Structure 1
């Protein structure tokens, strides 16, 4: 891991000359440098942000990554709760942060999972928020009730309507942004809320499949198939066997790939549910 430095301090202490700083290092944030030509990871940028704004608390998507959430890009903007001069890749927010809304994880001051969820839910568009919230819940489970309570603790915070609309739909069972998208595609279309990560066993106890989401009462499931299903021969062979076993057990599974249109996926789901006795009510 590359260690960021405060350029002025390195020069003042005689560790580098100004010429060496200019030729060997590149600024990450104002006054903070990493070796030139190095592509910093998110955690290296977080370390740099802490040097740039020492008393700030990491928040937003970067905070979710500190808590273990996946799908956070290395170059994402880092949100801080604290005063910070505007600059690319770093945003300071002068907001109220109660004592029980921050913690230290791996030496990094960061908003708690519940406060992180509250911030994500109110700042991001609903679809983006739910993807981030699902990833956070999957990595570091939090109480949705605790996150919702913060809408009352901070009644003047921006985006409370967004937060109240997104938080009830969080499901840590989603293991990718596309799984979050697929689940919400069904829910927003008025289909029943599916159960995520449902495990199917054969009568003799043999494990068959963990399905991304199911309507258990109707023995209908849905899966988002990523590229590995097309590029791995071993995975393909496993899928063929699994589909045969699921059919024997009476399961109907909708397989979705990136080329599928949302309305077509919903239509297949609705038709399958109606055919198996769903009364059409969410």
Structure 2
């Protein structure tokens, strides 16, 4: 039997969180030659040295999900002497990682030896107390407030905003916890970036795209929007909720991510009907004398001055027409 069809290997990969090791393969009768042959025909994918995955599942994962598998493989290899931290502690929690370098797995050593980078693993020499160590799927990770601060200290401010927004939105942390992390770690080299992210973070943002849109408005000095704005008709009937709103400009904004179309989709629904329903919702809201800006991922990710200028022009037009 070829390794990619072996249910035992598939079960091992599932149990480990998406990968199997060279030793797992050997223990089930697949030596170096079998692995080389399988890799040559693209029947297995290399996760890292000594760790492999089955493309039928691994190949369908987003880059951040593949990164999480790699982080798990590193944690299992290193054992209890190291703790997943920074971006890696967020990845294994399935937190959004946007505009973040995924080339290195980050761990904090418990022996407090000097930090270094070896074989795609960045070893940090920070001090960890027992209260700052958590467990996810049997692996040691830094607690979420600390991990958010660690990650934001290494990344762009907007990356920290996306992760903090998500954690606040889902009730995984509160602002007090993040502010305590800020107080404890304000001496870190990248802490000013993390502080800027915390100052801007808002749990009302429902997706990474909405968070990036907020950041784009801020960077280009557009008016600050209200988030999750409810629109009613003249009789007080609820018509819909907009991702962004500038009430004084009579203008609404929507981030058109796939989330919006998957959210109401139920078994038996027709996909085209879902799209039409979403369009009618927007039309009902705009029927109350509002303009509308629609943003997609490319608009909010690239920080394009032209996109910001378009939104400002639409805001100005709405205020002129409906204000």
**Alignment TM-score, normalising by the size of structure 2:** 0.67
Q: Does 1:114 align with 2:140?
A: no
* C-alpha distance 273-183 of structure 1, shift in aligned 2 (>3 A): farther
Greater Cα shift, 234-243 or 159-168: 234-243
Answering whether residue 48 of structure 2 is matched by residue 23 of structure 1, we say no
Give the direction of change, closer, same or farther, for the CA distance of 1:199–1:27 in structure 2 (3 Å limit).
same
After alignment, is 102-111 or 259-268 more displaced?
259-268
Asked if structure 2 preserves the Cα contact closer than 8 Å seen for 1:69 and 1:138, the reply is: no
Per-residue deviation, 1:254:
1.7
Q: Structure 1 residues 243 and 129, CA, compared in 2 at 3 Å: closer, same or farther? A: same
Match for 1:251 among 286, 290, 300? Answer: 290
Question: Residue 212 and residue 155 in structure 1: after superposition, are their counterparts in 2 closer, same or farther (change >3 A)?
Answer: closer
What's 1:34 paired with? Answer: 52
- Whichever structure has more helix as a proportion of its residues is 2
Helix, strand or coil for the counterpart of 1:249?
coil
Q: Which residue of 2 aligns with 1:80?
A: 107
Secondary structure, aligned partner of 1:54? helix
The answer to whether residue 189 in structure 2 is matched with residue 158 in structure 1 is yes
- RMSD (Å) for aligned C-alpha atoms: 3.7
CA deviation string 1:43-95 (max 9, x = no partner): 4323311222112222233322333424679x76432122676112x322121
Assess if the C-alpha contact under 8 Å between 1:61 and 1:120 holds in 2. Answer: yes
Q: Is the 8 A contact 2:292 2:314 kept in 1?
A: no
Given that residues 66 and 105 in structure 1 are in contact (C-alpha distance below 8 angstroms), is that contact kept between their aligned partners in structure 2?
yes
3-state SS of the aligned residue for 2:254?
strand
* Unaligned stretches of 5+ residues in structure 1: none
Is the aligned partner of 1:241 residue 2:286? no
TM-score by length of 1: 0.75
Q: How does 1:158-177 map to 2 (within 5 A)?
A: 158-177=189-208
Alignment gaps of 5+ in structure 2: 1-10, 37-44, 59-65, 110-114, 262-270
Return the alpha-carbon distance in structure 2 between the equivalents of residues 183 and 39 of structure 1. 34
Question: C-alpha distance in 2, partners of 1:87/1:266?
Answer: 45
Pairing of 1:110-149 with structure 2 (within 5 A): 110-149=141-180
Matched, 1:263 2:308: yes
Q: CA deviation at 1:27?
A: 6.1
SS in 2 for 1:53: helix
Question: What is the number of residues matched between the two proteins?
Answer: 269
